[in-house]
Structure 1
Amino acid sequence: MEKVIHKYNCIINALPVRCGDCLYINFLDNTSKISRHIIVDAGYSNTYHRTLKPIIDRLAKEGSEIDLFILTHTDGDHIGGMKPHIINFGVNGIKQFWFNYAPTPFTLKDGTDEVSIKQGINLRDYLLKFGKVNSSPILTGHVEKIGDGIITVLSPDNEQFNRFVEEWRNEEPYSEGDVAITTTTTDYSEPIADLIHNEYEPDSSWSNRSSIAFVLQLGSKKVMLTGDAHPDVIISALRTQGYTPDNPIQLELMKISHHGSKANTSDELIKLVDCQCFLISSNEGNKHSFPHKEALARVIWVTHQRRPKTPIHIYFTYNSSILKEIFSSEEQKEFMLICHYPETGNEGITITFCADE
């Protein structure tokens, strides 16, 4: 009998939402021939109209529904774009939301084009009213099928989420205070060979610990999208699934957590991952000096040690002279680095992979 070869074409579009996250995923089911659409995070409220809204407009005109809209956690650089989205579209055209909400409300001002913390309806209750959001937290081990795609959740686990809710009760609502000019210096002038000796110091944010991270599988191919998750939470989930440094998870693409923060990527995590393509969702000159070269150095060093003759591809959501200066020409040659940048301003960077089964 002739073997049937199935091909899953998956397109991941990482949008330029400053130092934030907004991903649009599209793939065609082999079995149903239906085009599937997943959105991960919404960026800032003031990046929404030039980035995500044109995609939503196009899908609406085509009569296409978004199968799943994932809000990885409640920081403004991930959830802020929901404010104008709710005003423009409500929940129309979206089958379901994932949102691990905390007790603090996100509300909509009556009669205005803004969402306020202090007035209007609670975003959580708004979504619950339409029955389109999870009634209990999305946690490690949750598996969801979107057509031919399989989503396996890696983060958060129950302990991380409960601690986040406890901490959140005592915090002020988030601010969208990301600025264009950094007040700190970058580590871009430091060589990779030096940065890998820096001691890893983990992120202390409980908001980030609550971030949803997951693996999307199509056929035999997988991508890992990490939000701002902590590496130890992902490590625990991967080890539970049987992955080890000698048996790492095979990935087509991994989004580096928290915009390339050195506090969210550890050697231990990268040793559990066999991947040659990495995504950085950040602009240059932000107040945190993301992406940190130290984080990228860990990724590059471990990856190069595993496959010294295979190029390493790094995808950026912005095209800037500063980001192009992270790696010296000598480093690019030594570690076989190939950096990819967007060609146009608002469309971001697009990664496509095809899985044969």
Structure 2
Amino acid sequence: MLRLEMLPAAHGDCLWIEYGSGTAVHRILIDGGPAHTYPALRERILHLPANERRFDLLVITHVDADHIEGVIRLLLDAEALHCRFDRIWFNGRDQLNAVPDPAGEPLGALQGEILGVLIADYEARTGSAVWNLGFDQALAAIDRRHPTLPAVDLPGDCRLTLLSPDHERLLNLKDRWKKELDRAGIASGDVAALRTRLAASRSLRPLGDVLGAEDKADEVEAMSGRHELPEDDDSDLGAELEDTLGRGSGEPGADAPFGGDTSAANGSSIALLLEYPATAPEVRLLLAGDAWPGVLETSLATLLGDPAKRFTLDAFKLPHHGSVANLSPGLLDRLRCSHYLVSTSGALFRHPHKRALDLILEHHAAPGRPTLHFNYLTRCTAPWSDTADQARRSYRALHPKGHAVSF
């Protein structure tokens, strides 16, 4: 059994994966969505008995607010929730500084450094070394000089192979982060200043083990799938900074070129191939975060070793919520996939882009009709609920509130 839930995370990602059977159920959490949707994640955790709130792995794919903020709140709450993590994968300041860099300048970004402080706090409190456990030099990155990709086996016979980022993408991110820290007036590694900034943030406060009325209302709205955001919504921590990691130059619109993402943060995104059971895979998922399509295509070429082959997948979590900038014909021509997962309400950037999903339908190569899975039914995702269009173009679309897919 393997089950993937796309929790309601507005315009962000929050993926809950369970595999195994009976009492031997293992869990992976990938990203936490933006700060205001954290109550939905927290409620999902509270549905577990206190002694079962354990994750084999927590992955924070990259530093964008719609992926990282909910994790910051979760780590602040982890002790109160009796929540435990055997591994936490995230490339922060120390990891960026570990990448071979001719410039050799130590850098870091504000939210990334705050998260690094909280991961270090978690390790100190639990006495467990969890940060990037399983990777050489504790660096979740691909060295393209090596002929193979990094892979880690998790308990319960699950294998994760790293598809992104590579060293070049992390160095690109490192070059951009200094501007953000300078604008924030924070020195890299200044833990006291980072704690002060975190304590002053309204949106990143912990909730503890009891929901207040205001937070409960937010949670109900988020869980219902009706949480539609104004176009300029953002956290107070992120709003005080000009985004120098890519979005500040303009989020690619629906008419942008395919595969044209230039965001350094997205380029640094952790993307994974999940295979279960590892010894004889029955399920293969491509969990792409917000990765660049060119990086994914290069990694798939490494796995396949033959330019004429396609990699067979059961599901592909689309990178960057179905943006045209994070899909390309070349990437889709490397895949044979049945299910495509779209995690977004369409808030802020009006994802998914119609041209991106049209490209998927045009390049679909697996037997049978492709299935599009959405975790919201909003004005941005509703066009694919048209049954006449589904029949005409031979696809299916599902729009549950939240969403779970079982394999």
TM-score, normalising length: structure 2: 0.70
Which of residues 281, 286, 295 is equivalent to 2:356?
Answer: 295
Pair 333,13 (structure 1): closer, same or farther in 2 beyond 3 Å: same
Aligned to 2:403: 349
Any conservation in 2 of the 1:276–1:313 contact (CA below 8 Å)?
A: yes
Report how far residue 167 of structure 1 moved: 1.4
Q: Which amino acid is 1:217 matched to?
A: E
Segments of structure 1 that go 5 or more residues without pairing to the other structure are 1-8, 108-115, 188-194
Task: Label 1:94 to 1:139 Cα distance change in 2 as closer, same or farther (>3 A).
Answer: same
Give the superposition deviation at 1:243: 5.3
- Preserved CA contact (<8 Å) 2:165 2:269: yes
1:28 aligns to what SS in structure 2? strand
In the other structure, the counterpart of 1:282 is 344
Q: What is aligned with 1:18? A: 10
Is structure 2 residue 109 aligned with structure 1 residue 104? yes
Quick one: percent identity of the two aligned structures?
A: 26
User: What is the rounded CA distance, in whole Å, between the counterparts of 1:43 and 1:128 in structure 2?
Assistant: 23
CA pair 44-182 structure 1, distance change in 2 beyond 3 A:
closer
CA distance in 2: counterparts of 1:211 and 1:121, whole angstroms: 16
Matches within 5 A, 1:150-169: 150-169=159-178
Q: For residues 191-232 of structure 1, what are the alpha-carbon distances to aligned partners after superposition, in whole Å with 9 as ceiling and x for unaligned? A: xxxx9xx84251110000000001100123201100000000
- Aligned match of 1:192: none
Which residue number in structure 2 is paired with residue 138 of structure 1? Answer: 140
- What is the Cα-based RMSD across aligned positions, in Å? 3.0
What displacement does 1:104 show?
2.6
- Kindly state the Cα deviation for residue 294 of structure 1 after the two structures are TM-superposed: 1.1
Which residue type is aligned with residue 70 of structure 2? G
Residue 92 of structure 1 deviates from its aligned partner by 4.2
Residue of structure 1 in register with 2:72 after alignment: 83
Aligned residue number for residue 211 of structure 1: 269
Matched, 1:310 2:368: yes
Give CA deviations for 1:278-319 in whole Å, capped at 9, x if unaligned: 0000003x221111111111111000xx35x72110000102
Shift of 1:330: 4.8
Q: Is the 8 A contact 1:106 1:123 kept in 2?
A: no
Aligned counterpart, 1:271: 333
2: distance between equivalents of 1:53 and 1:78?
15
Task: Report Cα offsets for 1:2-30 as digits up to 9, x if no partner.
Answer: xxxxxxx1000001100000000001169
Q: Across the two proteins, how many residue pairs are aligned to each other? A: 313
Which protein is richer in strand relative to its size?
1
The aligned counterpart of 1:337 is 395
Q: Partner amino acid for 1:281?
A: S
1:93 corresponds to:
84
Query: Match of 2:117?
Result: 122
Per-residue deviation, 1:163: 1.5
Change (3 A) 1:69 1:181: same
Counterpart secondary structure, 1:252: strand
Superposition deviation, residue 71 in structure 1: 0.5
Q: What is aligned with 2:214?
A: none
CA separation of 1:221/1:243 partners in 2, compared to 1, >3 Å: closer, same or farther? farther
Query: Kindly tell me: are residues 29 and 154 of structure 1, through their superposed partners in 2, closer, same or farther at Cα, counting changes over 3 Å?
Result: farther
Against the structure 1 CA distance between its residues 245 and 65, is the aligned structure 2 distance closer, same or farther, given a 3 Å change threshold?
A: same
Show CA shifts across 1:6-59 (max 9, x none).
xxx1000001100000000001169xx62110000011121111x211222233
Greater CA drift, 161-170 or 327-336: 327-336
Asked if 1:71 corresponds to 2:60, the answer is yes
Q: Does structure 1 residue 220 correspond to structure 2 residue 282? A: yes
In the aligned structure 1, how far is the partner of 2:52 from the partner of 2:86? 13
Change (3 A) 1:165 1:230: same
Measure, in 1, the Cα distance between the counterparts of 2:76 and 2:53.
19
User: Aligned equivalents of 1:62 and 1:241: distance in 2?
Assistant: 38
Does the Cα contact within 8 Å between 2:63 and 2:111 map onto a contact in 1?
no
Deviation at 1:335, TM superposition (A): 2.2
Structure with the larger helix share: 2
Residues 124/87 of structure 1: CA separation in 2 closer, same or farther (3 Å cut): closer
